[in-house]
Structures are given as structure tokens and as C-alpha cells.
Amino acid sequence: MVTLISFVVLLGILIFVHELGHFLVARACGVGVEKFSLGFGRKIIGKKIGETEYVISWIPLGGYVKLLGEAGAEELPPEDAKRSFSVQPPWKRLLIVLAGPFSNFFLALVIFCIVFVYGLPNLAPIVGMTLPGSAAGEAGIVAGDTITSIDGKKISYWTEIDEILQASKGKDLSVGVRRGDEEKTVMVKPRLTGVKDIFGKEDSVYRLGISPVSHTLAVIGEMPEGSAAKEAGMLRGDTILSIDGRKITYWDEIRPVVFASEGKELEVIARRGAVEKTFTVKPKASREKNVLGEEVSVYLIGIQAAGNTHAVVGQIKPDSPAHKAGFLQGDKIISADGKKVFCWEDMEDIFKDASGDGLQFVVLRGGRQMTLTVTGGRKGPAGIGKETAAMGLYPEKGEVIERKNPAAAFVSSLDRTWEFSKLTVVVIAKMIKGAVSPRTLGGPIFIAQTAGRQAREGVVSFILFMAILSINLGVINLFPVPVLDGGHVLFYLIEIVTRRAIPQKVKEWSTQIGFVVLLMLMLFVIMIDIERLDIKFINDALKFFK
């Protein structure tokens, strides 16, 4: 039900905005509007206000505005003839047609502005890992450091680091670092590193060799039957320490190593309780979708994260027992009450068994171990969240909320709208060239499913999806295909250049051809949508059409 409602709301808003653009500009240009319809086919409900009939129709896959004299062949009373669409100069007709797609761009712009002002989660500029031998490693930057500035520019979010690195062109940078209560500046020279973009194309970017902190540790949760890890003897609760000699701390570090194995056996060292065990795991080939929705072959060992959080302090409540004991942001808790702490969740059992009011913590701060004693604030075995909060300790989640002022939000919204528009054009161009599979296309079923998922995640996720879909709708409508707005734009541009109207018969034939092509495309994407549902008897039936 959520999926259906989300789809109807999403499509209704996008169509309404698109057609409202045509409607308002037509009125502004002095052109009469006979009908404003959401959807096609037979009307469900309608009401005539003035000369315009407003209707909702049965087929919710589009909409239209019927302009006075749009067909060009109808005879109109003299008082209406001058308000006919067909007698307007080409530039006016061009504006009316362009108003629809540009209304969709405008909707996306407004949504992005609202979201940027409201605030979005962004990665905090806290170093989670430093690669051995990297530029940052040689400069002395270690895990837990907070990047506070680069070349005098204040750093609040992780994304700002990459922007400055690419603009540096490899020159030496002064990097401000906070480690506990110590502030220092180091000189770092970014190195050119080869990467692949979302299309698999090789590119080179400047990197320091650091990655953001991830609060999810490499602790195994679920393992399906037949998975490579389970067959190797690994169990739920095992903590992965290394794979093929590469140290593993966070869950995000596992996937790239397994992917790169290309199926060869991996030596995995894991901790089970207080014992370290070695396993030989052979990744299995699997199929999954990439960011473009294409099915690609990948190697997996079949594990899911348990969700354990690293024992790194994120916030300390002022005047709390932890604050008085000397805890600082970025401290990594190594032990509590003499017992080893591997993750934040370990402290639950430790607090339950602890005797007395004073608790001794051993923390790692900038490579140095320190002992801190917390007195007071304990409430008994009430659970890890309440226990640590009572002491004034909160885990580091590696996220901060990024909020922009209205002017900065508008600039960022323009940039985001342009980037998504450009990406849509690039994907379609690569699809035409054959570099991207047409099976990445999504039809009404796919859109409905995605809308439902985004709605369940929250209002912000849903309206961001609406903004991206609105941009896609605007771009696609500008393609020079008869029956789309872009086809009409092409006709009017030719008319402006040649100073001659295109014959009505040519317009009618091309529109009919365009409609057939659009209908075939719609059937194609619906078939892809149905195939994605992975229903056996439907898949068997669709084989006859391949």
C-alpha cells in the first residue's frame, strides 16, 4: 500500500508540475487553454472553470494541456482566433513547450534548496584508516585524527577534503590536524592515483591515502547456508582481523579486498572470543546490480555485518563523570575495568559485572595509551546506551549534519541539478553507443518500488528521489523525438531558422511515428520491470520474446 500511494503521489506531483509549466506560460503568452489533464484516457473526474476544463484521467502515465487552436486545422470564432496557439510566433510556441521540462528542473532546484537548508548527513573529517606508505602516513597522520583545515581553509565535512585535493594539482598542502586536545600542522603532498568512474573508465585523481572513519566494525552477523565463509568454518560473531595480510578494522574494508581476489583463495584471520583463528576462504562468483542498475559479476564470501560499533568516543557531555575524568573526542577505549574492549557493545557486560563506583578505562590517544578513572554516573545494569550516556560518553558515528544558508543552498542546488542532468544525458548516450545496457532502464513498476523504499526511509529520502526523477523527466522530454516536448522544440527551431512553417502533414506523421516508438519503449521497460520481479513463470514466458 505504501508503494502504491508513494507512486501515485510521486507521479501526480511530477506530472502536475510539468503541465503547470505549460499552462502558466501559455496563459502569460495570451494563449487559451481548453483542458488541463493529469493522466490520459477517459476522465475520472473533471470540472470546468472559465474556458478551461480540469480533469483527472484513468491512465496515470503522463498528462497534457490542450491549447486553443493547437491542432491548427480547427476553425475558431474571430475573437478566439488571435488567442490560438497555432497563430502565435514561433518564439512564443517555443517558450510554451520549453516551460514543461524547465518546470521539472525548477522543482528539483527547489527540493535541493529546501533539503540543503534543512540539513543532510555528511561524513565528519575524521581519519578512519591511513594506508601504509601513503602521503598522509609519511606526514604522520594516523587513525582518529580530525582534519581541521587544509591550506588555511576550514574543513567541516569529509567531502571538502577531496575538492581541495583535486584543485591542488599535486602541490604541497599544509594540513591542520587535531589529535585529542593537541593541534598541529603537517605538510602533505597529494599523490596522483588511478581510479575508475561509475562507467568503469580509468581516471586519475589526487589522494592523501586516508579514508573516513566507519563506526561499523568487521564483525560477522548473518551467513546464509552455502556461503564461502560458512563453508570455511567461520561463525557469527567472528571479528575479521586481516585478509591476505591486509589489516581489516571496519566492515567497509572487506568488500574491495574480496572483489579484487577474482575468486582465488584468501587467508582470513579472525578473532573468536580471545582466540585468533585462520581460515582459507574461496570467494564465489555472484550477480548483483551496480550503481547504474546493470547486473555485473562479483566475488563474495557471503557475510553480513553484525552492526557492532567501534569503541571510539564521539561526544562527551559537559560536566559529566567522563568529562571530569579527562575523556576527549577521538579517544579509543582499549579496556574497561581491566577487561579488553573490542567494540562499544563489549562495555555492556563489563558494566554489569563491575563492582564499585570507580571504573578504570585505558584509552588510546594519538598513539599513546592513557588510564582514566570515571567516578559516579553509573545506574546499574541498565544497558549499554543508558550506562555510557549516564557517564557522559557517546560513540563516534563519523557523521555530522551539513546545513547551508539559503544563498549557499541555491548555488549547491544549481550544481546538483546540473550534475544529475549531465549524468542522465551521459547514460543515455552510452546506452545508444552500447556501452551501457538498456536493461538499466526502469519503468512504472521499478519507479513505484523505489518510491516505496524511499518513502519508508523518510520524507527527505522520498523528496530527493522525486528531485532526481524530475530531472530525468525534464531531460528526457527535451530529446528531439516527435510527441515529446523536444520534438516540438526541434520543429519550432527549424521554423525560426527557415522562416517557413513545417507542413501539418509532416508534423502528424512524425508525431505518429514518435508515439509508436514511445509505446514500444514503454512496453520494453515494463517487460524489464516484470523480469526484475523474478517470478519464475513470468520469466519463462518472457524467454519467448528474447
C-alpha cell at 527: 517487460
State yes or no: is 508 an active-site residue: no
Helices (H) and strands (E) in the chain, counts: 16, 24
Which segments within 50-87 are labelled E, that is strand?
A: 52-67
Beta bridge partners of 309: 216
Beta bridge partners of 281: 266
Beta bridge partners of 64: 37
Helix (H) or strand (E) holding 439: none
Taking 3-state DSSP, the helix, strand and coil percentages for the chain, each rounded to the nearest 5, stand at: 40, 30, 30
Distance CA 541, CA 518 (A): 23
Out of 19, 253, 387, 396, the active site residue is 19
Q: Residue 398 CB: number of other CB atoms within 10 A?
A: 22
C-alpha cell at 404: 547551508
Radius of gyration of the chain, Cα coordinates, nearest whole angstrom: 30
Pair type for strands 120-123 and 127-130: unpaired
C-alpha cell at 223: 551467513
Listed residue (108, 92, 133) closest to 13, CA to CA: 108
Distance CA 463, CA 457 (A): 11
- Residue 435 sits at φ, ψ, to 5 deg, of -75, -25
- Helix locations, 140-204, DSSP H: 158-168
Listed residue (189, 310, 299) closest to 250, CA to CA: 310
Beta bridge partners of 219: 239
- Residue 272 sits at φ, ψ, to 5 deg, of -120, 105
Indicate the angle between helix axes 2-28 and 444-457, nearest 10 degrees. Answer: 110
Please, are residues 237 and 272 in contact by the beta-carbon 8 Å criterion? yes
List the catalytic residues. 19
